[in-house]
Amino acid sequence: MFKPEGVVPALVTPFDENGEINEEVLRQLVRRTIDHGCHGIFALGSNGEFFALTYEEKVRIAKIVMDEAKGQVPVYMGTGCNSTKETIELTKEMEQLGVSAVSVITPYFVKLTQSELISYYEALAEATSLPIILYNIPGLTQNSLAPETVAHLSKRSTIVAIKDSSGNFDNILQYIELTDPDFSVMAGTDSLILATLMAGGKGGVAATANFLPKAVVSIYEKWKAGDIEGAEQEQRKLRAIRNAFKLGSLPSVLKESLNEIGLNVGNPRLPVSPLTEEAKAKVQNVVKGYIEAGEFELLNSK
């Protein structure tokens, strides 16, 4: 069974000036992540604004990403919906497209018991042969996957990993402790990638890898080579952009940073607003710092 590992960028969804999917830039994003050595591609996640996309748009994005990736790296797709029925339907659609695995966020809005969460994932596991990655982000969903729940679900052969975006490192440690070594615990909080690896995790699903793919990949590669000091240096490079995220609603800051380096991903989809001029100026200053540090060159003239 497929086992996620390494650095997997959580791709943003590019929109054009009319708020429609920008296929050209999406393909550019896919190529860029592959060219920088990322170990997979994850689309239709939180930073991909899955919550603002229609079912048909999700399928279209998956087709574009699969076509551009051309089997060079594993492709992960977010298929979690609020109802078990729709989650199964979308997952089956992704299975037909041949994706490598699906990442499935817990349902949101309604507060669920651990028993209900187990039933949700077990119903999905019965309905698909695709590898399933659990996705825990209680700050947005209000539903947290308890370590014991993850341990229970990990016994199913097709539930192969968890992406934890709780920001709670103790949570990650418990997931690692209570699951078998071949179950992949992936950091979903970018500041915890190296700590997760050192604790026995397998990598990270990283939003910052849209912006700094080389640095984020280097965390994993240097850790794997035993260069802990070098990995720590790469991990520290993420602080400035991570700290800037608080300047706007998800994923407005990340999108603006990409726009600033010439990857014209556009604005978030309403109701998430573009950054204020004051916030935009602060993000521009952060991006300027990375450029001056030689992290990358502008991709094209602005």
The answer to whether 288 is a known catalytic residue is no
Residue 163 annotated in active site: yes
Give the whole-angstrom CA distance, residue 62 versus residue 85.
20
**Per-residue b or e along 97-133, where b marks 16 or more CB atoms closer than 10 Å to that residue's CB:** eebbbbbbbbbbeeebeeeebbebbeebbebbebbbb
**The dihedral of CA 145, 148, 152, 158: what is its sign?**
positive
Q: Which residue of the set 58, 163, 222, 280 is catalytic?
A: 163
Structure tokens at 273: 């607003």
Query: What is the C-alpha separation between 174 and 10, in angstroms, rounded?
Result: 24
- In 3-state terms, the chain is what percent helix, strand and coil (to 5)? 50, 15, 40
Catalytic option among 76, 135, 175, 290? 135
Residues 6+ apart with CB under 8 A from 196: 169, 172, 185, 186, 187, 203, 204
Task: Assess contact for 163 and 133: CB atoms under 8 A.
Answer: yes
What CA–CA distance (Å, rounded) separates 272 from 119?
Answer: 32
Q: Is 238 helix (H, G, I), strand (E, B) or coil?
A: coil
User: In angstroms, rounded to a whole number, what is the distance separating the alpha carbons of residues 14 and 227?
Assistant: 35
* Nearest one of 287, 296, 101 to 218, comparing CA atoms: 296
**Cα dist from 208 to 32, 231, 242, 249, whole Å:** 13, 16, 8, 15
116's enclosing H/E stretch is helix 114-127
Active centre residues (catalytic): 135, 163
